[in-house]
Amino acid sequence: MTWKVDDLQILVDFLALKSPLFAPSIDGHMCLMFRQISPGEEIDLSRRTDISARNLFQPETHYYLDFGGEPGAEPVLRDFKTNGRIILGLRPCDMTGLRVFDSVFSESESFSTLRSGTIIIGYLCDRLESSCFCESVGVSPRETEGMDLFLFRTADGIYHLDSVTDRGSALMEGSPFPQDDAEPESVPLRVQPLPRLPDDLGALLLESDDVLWKKISFACVNCRICTYVCPTCHCFTISDEVFRDRVARAAVWDSCQSRTFTKEASGHNPRESRTARARQRILHKFSYYPTLNDGTFMCSGCGRCDTSCPTGRNLLEDLLALTGEVR
């Protein structure tokens, strides 16, 4: 079932009155990110967000145990809020990241409850940004897997909304939009198509020479921004924190690019060098994870790591350099 959306703001207001709504919006620091939207607030679908939607499924800091302020007090579990919500504007690359989370956190009841309580309205890309390389990792900018509904824009600039699941159709009951039969159009192709990464990429990377790893990691300053904006990265650590009136335990985002990520209690660190850390990040995404997940890369090709890197590193170029020398 397809609806014609003449006014995007009317759709936003309609959804925001139905359930808590999260969508791309500019924050006070001029960063485009997913945040909760109230009726009347504008959203921005003009480009890919600067930061992925990871925080909506794995909060940056989640205080999940509260020990209170009295000695011997029983800990209280503070689970995710799962009263139902809508996320509008997840692109195919974001959905790829969410499928990684589905795989990694499949045994987490908290995540599963949060995931099942979320209605996803995807947005199909109408153009390819210069930093995108989704085609190289096998992701289509028109992919709808995992979406309940998807929004797309035709050449005349009109938005259309198409349902994929029954709960997606149910969400639109009572909407002010007329039904139509529009279909998504092809995304304009690049003048020069990007190369598709080989299926045996993981094996090729494992054979890469140490000199090449040092070369691609030379510019890295270990700021970790590549892992924090990524839709597939999910590493976290556990932290016990003491406040004036209570003690709490939190799950906090962490990064394999942090110098202390693998530091042991003995003081030994198996990944002391930035080369070792850069190698781990790439091998996890393109060798270790694919080996356990039917060859699926742990990368959506969104390009956020490239646009965020302060030294201008380019992941696709790094991968081609590493495999090119081997071939």
Rg (CA), the chain: 21
Helix (H, G, I), strand (E, B) or coil at 237: strand
Please report the pLDDT score of residue 189 as a whole number.
Answer: 66
Helix, strand, or coil here: 75? Answer: coil
Residue 271's pLDDT band, with cuts at 50, 70 and 90, is very high
What is the pTM for the complete model shown? Answer: 0.92
Average pLDDT, the chain: 92
Closest CA to 322 of 163, 190, 201, 199: 201
Q: In the chain, pLDDT over 90 holds for what percent of residues?
A: 79
In this model, does residue 57 exceed pLDDT 50? Answer: yes
- Per-domain boundaries in the chain: 2-54+80-171, 201-236+256-326
List pLDDT tens digits, range 245-258: 888 999 999 999 99
Confidence class of residue 326 from pLDDT cuts 50, 70 and 90?
very low
Which run of H or E residues covers position 77? strand 76-77
What's the token pair of residue 145? Answer: 């897997």
The predicted pLDDT at position 323 comes to: 87
Tokens of 238: 């556990």
What's the confidence (pLDDT) of residue 82?
73
Contact between 88 and 12 under an 8 Å Cβ cutoff? The reply is yes
- pLDDT at 325 (0 to 100): 42
275: left (phi over 0), alpha (psi -120 to 50) or beta: alpha
Q: pLDDT per residue over 164-206, tens digit each?
A: 999 999 999 999 999 988 888 877 767 678 888 988 999 999 9
- Cα-flanking dihedrals φ and ψ of residue 56, to 5°? -75, -20
Question: What is the model's pLDDT at position 327?
Answer: 34
User: pLDDT > 70: what percent of the chain?
Assistant: 98
**pLDDT classification of 289: cutoffs 50, 70, 90:** very high
Q: Summarize pLDDT for 136-163 with one digit per residue, the tens.
A: 999 999 999 999 999 999 888 899 999 9
pLDDT at 185: 80
What distances in angstroms separate CA 94 from CA 18, 66, 187, 222, one per listed residue?
23, 32, 17, 24
CA terminus-to-terminus distance, the chain: 48
- Report CA 244 to chain centroid distance, whole Å: 35
Q: Is the pLDDT of residue 80 over 90?
A: no
pLDDT band at 128 (very low <50, low <70, confident <90, very high): confident
Output phi, psi for 98, to 5 deg. -65, -35
Per-residue pLDDT reduced to its tens digit, 22-43: 999 998 788 999 999 999 999 9
Pairing relation of β-strands 149-153 and 118-123?
A: parallel
